[in-house]
Structure formats: structure tokens, C-alpha cells
Structure 1
Amino acid sequence: MDSIGAQAYAKILENGVQAIEEVKRLQDSGFTREDIYVISHDQNREDRIAEAAGAGEVGMNEEGLFGTLANMFRSRGDELRSKISSLGFSEAEADFYEKELDLGKVLVIAKKRPS
């Protein structure tokens, strides 16, 4: 899944520098801050990369109230799979991406919001 013209786009990157570059590339192609998400297994790292790149965060708008509250009681892996699924990916895709995040990689997702 590596097509910028698609409704939802996801790319696994090796590090934060590559993730920031990818976010900038997506912004140059027409995605806004609210359309782009950076996800990492380490929450602090995720926050730093998202801030540096100018990307949004998966929150209540994407997950809904129940999903956001449930994440408070989930393991980080379960929370990540939930966030990825809330952006329109299947359970199998969310599981695949979460395993890549376990390896220290960074996931950048871009999804156009409905008009």
C-alpha cells in the first residue's frame, strides 16, 4: 500500500528522519496536517516525530469516544492496532503494521477526510 492517490496510504519507515521526510512529501502532494498520522511503538518518540513533521494524532475523531477510553486500559500493542484499524485498515493489516512497529520502525499514514 504505497500509492499517494489512494484514499488511505501507509508506509513503514526505518527511522524518524525518514518519517519526517515522508510527511513533508505527503504535505507537498496535497495532504494536510489533519490527514497525516505518525505512529511509533514508543509514545514519546511518536509525539516528537509528529511535532517535528507537522503531523496529526489519532484521537477521538478517528477512534470515537469508546475507542479512546478503551485505549487507556489496553497494552500499547493493542492500542496501536486499534488506532491503525480506526484509520480504515483491516485487522490483518493492523497486526502486520504493529509487528513492524515492534521492530522500532515508524508508520506514516495519510487518509483524506470525507468532504
Structure 2
Amino acid sequence: MFVRDPQFAMKAGRVLDLYARIFDGVPLADDEYVISSDEKTSIQARCHCHPTLAPGISRTMRVEHEYDRGGALAYLAAYDVHRAQVLGLCSETTGIDPFMELVDEVMARQPYALA
């Protein structure tokens, strides 16, 4: 890896400290959480034209390879770094509104609702 940013160690150190449950040199309390979020855009939504048929006696499973296009979606996910839990949602658009929907979904669940 060739790092070009002269401040890389400082910037990466802040993130790595959070992974180690440390913020500004102080350990995080049990009721403090580190959530990492990201989005994957332009996921092709495809639907098979016919259902998959389960294998039977003397017959292999049959899968239809033709599909209908269903447009493009975005997947937004929030990852709890220390509890290894992922919460996510699909959206037809990206931007602040879908992101806030994800934040609201995360904050409505335990243990984050108490934070």
C-alpha cells in the first residue's frame, strides 16, 4: 500500500481508535456505540420470469436464467462495529432522506434507542 496523504496516519488513527473503543484518548462506556454506514448504489433489481423448480426423482434442480429488469436500487447499511450487527434497507434513491430513514431505523432499535 502506497499512502500519498501525509496525514494518513493521523486520520486512520482516529478511526482505528474507535474500532478499539477509544475516543479522544478516553475509553468508550458500555452504552456508547460505534456505527459505520455506507451505501451501495446501482444494484440491478432482477426478477426471474419463472420460479425455480426443486430437484426431484431423476431430475436436477431447474433454474430459469431469463429475468425481467426491475430498475436500479441502492442498499444502505449501518454496521455496529463491536456487536457485528448489520441493519440495512433498500431505496430507489440516494441522498439525505434515505440516509435519515436508515438512522431512524437504527435509533429505534435496542440498545441504540437508549443512547
TM-score, structure 1 normalization: 0.31
Name the one with the larger helix percent: 1
Q: Larger C-alpha radius of gyration, 1 or 2? A: 2
TM-score, structure 2 normalization: 0.31
